[in-house]
Amino acid sequence: MEYKYLIYEKAASFLTPEEENIAIITLNRPDALNALSRGLLEELDNVLEEIRKDGKIRSVVITGAGRAFSSGFDLSEAGAGDEADMKAGMELGQKVFDKIETFDKPVIAAINGYALGGGLEMAAACDLRIASEKASLGNTEVNLGLIPSWGGCVRIPKLIGRANAAQILLMGERFDAKEAERLGLLNKVVAPDELKSTAMYLAGQLATKAPIAMRLVKNILSKAMEISMEEGNKMMIKGGITCMKSEDIIEGISAFFEKRTPKFKGK
């Protein structure tokens, strides 16, 4: 499928070079700092579905072309249409970011530059966030008379706690990558020329893990902040049994004793 606002590529992981098992999604509106228009969000939704159906893909990297990861909501679409259209736009962003968070394959945000507003909300929905030292981040919506309506008001506090989130969401300030790492928003900060290789290295590691186990861990993680320990224990028992009944566990244990990298099939 051809995409207008993004580039979709496949790459082989360093541990299994014979397979193209990493999906790379590059937001491709560099002249607009990869602003999230409705068209781009729809394409992102479609490419995620394409990746979901591809059994060979084991991990995903999302990044941006040019100077930005994403500058957020496309302001040229602000105020367009009636209330129903506005609601539909918000629901589309929520749908796509919820899909990223609950995606059955791990997703890495490789933040190459600006990650502002909806761009930071999208990054927050990913499982891991790696940023360039030159990245600039922030939920700046309040400065424009808006709120983070694509998940940020709920997702950011879950990541970094209410107090830190309140400062970010209410002050609307930009901050650098080191501060984002200190707050717990980022897993790692690297030199600009190391961002792609670091993201691909992590994606390659994730691509070697057992798909069934990864999917189950992600499912529990997505609910971990809302459920009780008792509910979590039940989910972990159910998931553990699913893993124990899979072919993957046989391969994983065999590879462990044979001192080799396992080749999981997701069965």
Model confidence at 165: pLDDT above 70: yes
pLDDT-derived band at 233, boundaries 50, 70, 90: very high
Model confidence at 249: pLDDT above 80: yes
Domain positions in the chain are 6-207, 211-258
Instruction: Catalytic residue, from 49, 141, 230, 231: name it.
Output: 141
Burial 66-90 (b: 16+ CB within 10 A, else e): bebbbbbbbeebeeeeeeeeeeebe
The reply to whether 121 belongs to the active site is yes
Residue type, 130: I
Cβ of 249: how many Cβ atoms within 10 Å? 17
Contact 64, 34 (CB under 8 A): yes
Tokens for 34?
């990869």
Q: What is the pLDDT of residues 103-161, one digit of tens each?
A: 999 999 999 999 999 999 999 999 999 999 999 999 999 999 999 999 999 999 999 99
In whole angstroms, give the CA distance from residue 138 to residue 141. 9
In whole angstroms, give the CA distance from residue 80 to residue 35. 16
Q: With pLDDT > 90 as the criterion, what percentage of the chain qualifies?
A: 80
Cβ of 62: how many Cβ atoms within 10 Å? 26
Instruction: Catalytic residue, from 43, 77, 83, 121: name it.
Output: 121
Domain 6-207, classified CATH 3.90.226.10, yes or no: yes
Model confidence at 14: pLDDT above 70: yes
Q: What is the pLDDT of residues 52-102, one digit of tens each?
A: 999 999 999 999 999 999 999 998 887 667 788 888 888 999 999 999 999
